[in-house]
Amino acid sequence: MKRFLCLGAALALFAILPGCGGVFRPIIIPNPPQFPNPAAAHTVLTLSDNGTSVSGSAMVIDVSGDTDVGQQTVGLRPVHAVQQSALKVLIANQSVPGAGQDSLTSINFSGVAIASAATLSLPAGSAPNFVATTEANQAYVSLPGYAPPSVAVINTSLNSIAATIPVGLNPSSIAETPDTKKLYVANAGDPATQSTWTISAFNTTARSARTVCDSTGTVCPPTLSSQPIWLAARSDSQRVFLLESNGTLAYLNTTTTSGPDLLTETSIVVPPVTPATSAYMWYDVILNRLYIPSGQQLVIVDASQSAPTTLATVPISIVSPASRAATDPCSTTTPGTLVVTSATSLPDGSRAYVGGYYIDSADNLCPQVTVIDAKSYGVKTNIAIPGVPDATNPATEYYVPVCATVRFRLNMAAGGDSSRAYLATCDGGAVNIVNTATDTYYFSLPAPFSVRPPLPGSKENPPQNPTFLLAGP
């Protein structure tokens, strides 16, 4: 018996040893780690308004070099953009009624450089205000001024309008599920009567309507408690989240193929934002969270559950004027009420950044960025961003009409390597850069020059006014 045991051991040893010599190597394949989203790895793109009669611009910032590496003329008054692929960005341009042409600009990249651009004319007076896609060759643009209000289906390979889909009154936000199968549109309704709030839903392949009902499945369409203003689709395509103007967070259960999609208004409520059109929420695809800035706080929501739950409500305080640089016009004035307007998160999952501002006693806009620890939900620090004159005051020489009505007066984005966070300010005409290694203000990169004449005491035209910030490609 011992002889057989020894022989067996020898044979086993013989079978193992060749693996050490490279002939046979069993391979263990672990569960793949979750890497940061590579969609925003190289650049941050700024859309800027250049007035009502001159085309706006897109400025490309190289994240690794902190430099303006390209500018591209787009349509009149660019308002929103989406990254369609690693090498393409789509931009919705909304002209002034009766002046100029509504359009959609597509920019193609080669690395961080702009390779080419093309602009597609949209129906006159259609007032595009949002563009969305998760598809390779098709995108969707909301047209609230079209008759009837619609979403345009854009063939981005041919740069043409493939179809228009009628929706509700005043569409203002669009979300397509990442599986590319379903499309949802938030219709803000009649602003005069504060009514006719609806959600439109479609199957993208056949462009057929989907039914949306309340959580019981009996009221179709459901009754919303206030104006729908922002949509975000979860990464698994099973939920679409809806932010309403009264601060209510709702969600659509989008799991079924045929529908109906059931809408539930949760007990999660953030302070209403005035004007309501300035509100939005940031979906963190890495941590599966929603960051909702509003009032003087940031609400952090766990979006991974069947029903979203609040993780934390983080109060945001004003940066002390005394901590600002002596050259900062906000350093010696009395602060007004803080307004928290925007948020983003680092792809490495470590921190969130919240942008806000107040108008001080000298009529300056005083921006700031608050850094939130993504694990403890605590405030790590407040960063003062240099103040600028309030551009929404028509009584001053600094008045810029677009900043009084723009959807994103302040907007944030993060670099794909998590080394930078960016805050664009319409009033300041610049993109402010935060070094995330030290969580300190780095410097401000001005937008391209505008066509407005120089201000008194200056020899240069002022910069254009940023209206939207997009990380990537």
Say which CATH number the domain at 129 has.
Answer: 2.130.10.10
Q: How confident is the model at residue 157 (pLDDT cuts 50, 70, 90)?
A: very high
Determine, yes or no, domain membership for 398.
yes
Report the C-alpha gap between 169 and 393 in whole angstroms.
31
Q: What are phi and psi of 17, to 5 degrees?
A: -60, -40
Report the C-alpha gap between 159 and 157 in whole angstroms.
6
The two beta strands, 261-269 and 212-214, are parallel
Q: What is the mean pLDDT of residues 101-113?
A: 94
Give kind and range of the element (H or E) at residue 394. none
Number of domains in the chain: 1
Determine, yes or no, domain membership for 16.
no
**CB under 8 Å to 445, separation ≥6 — which residues?**
59, 61, 66, 67, 68, 430, 431, 433
Determine, yes or no, domain membership for 158.
yes
* Res 14: pLDDT: 42
Determine, yes or no, domain membership for 412.
yes
Identify any residues that bridge with 46 across adjacent strands, giving them in sequence order: 59, 469
> Following DSSP, what letter does each residue of 435-451 receive, concatenated?
ETTTTEEEEEEEPPB-S
Domain region containing 106: 36-471
Would you say 426 and 50 are in contact if contact means Cβ atoms under 8 Å apart? no
The two beta strands, 364-373 and 388-389, are antiparallel
pLDDT in tens, 285-313: 999 999 999 999 999 999 999 999 999 99
Determine, yes or no, domain membership for 41.
yes
Q: State the amino acid at position 106 in one-letter form.
A: S
Region at 80 (left for phi over 0; alpha for psi -120 to 50; beta for the rest)? beta
Determine, yes or no, domain membership for 31.
no
Asked if residue 448 has pLDDT above 70, the reply is yes
Q: What is the mean pLDDT of residues 109-133?
A: 95
Determine, yes or no, domain membership for 83.
yes
* Res 275: pLDDT: 54
Rg (CA), the chain: 25
* Res 309: pLDDT: 97
Determine, yes or no, domain membership for 9.
no
Asked if residue 185 has pLDDT above 70, the reply is yes
Report the C-alpha gap between 299 and 297 in whole angstroms.
7
Report the C-alpha gap between 369 and 372 in whole angstroms.
10
Would you say 372 and 414 are in contact if contact means Cβ atoms under 8 Å apart? no
Q: What is the mean pLDDT of residues 412-436?
A: 97
Q: How confident is the model at residue 272 (pLDDT cuts 50, 70, 90)?
A: confident
pTM: 0.89
For residue 240, with 0-12 CB atoms within 10 Å meaning exposed, 13-18 middle and 19 or more buried, which class applies?
buried
Cα diameter, the chain: 104
Asked if residue 136 has pLDDT above 70, the reply is yes
Report the C-alpha gap between 125 and 97 in whole angstroms.
6
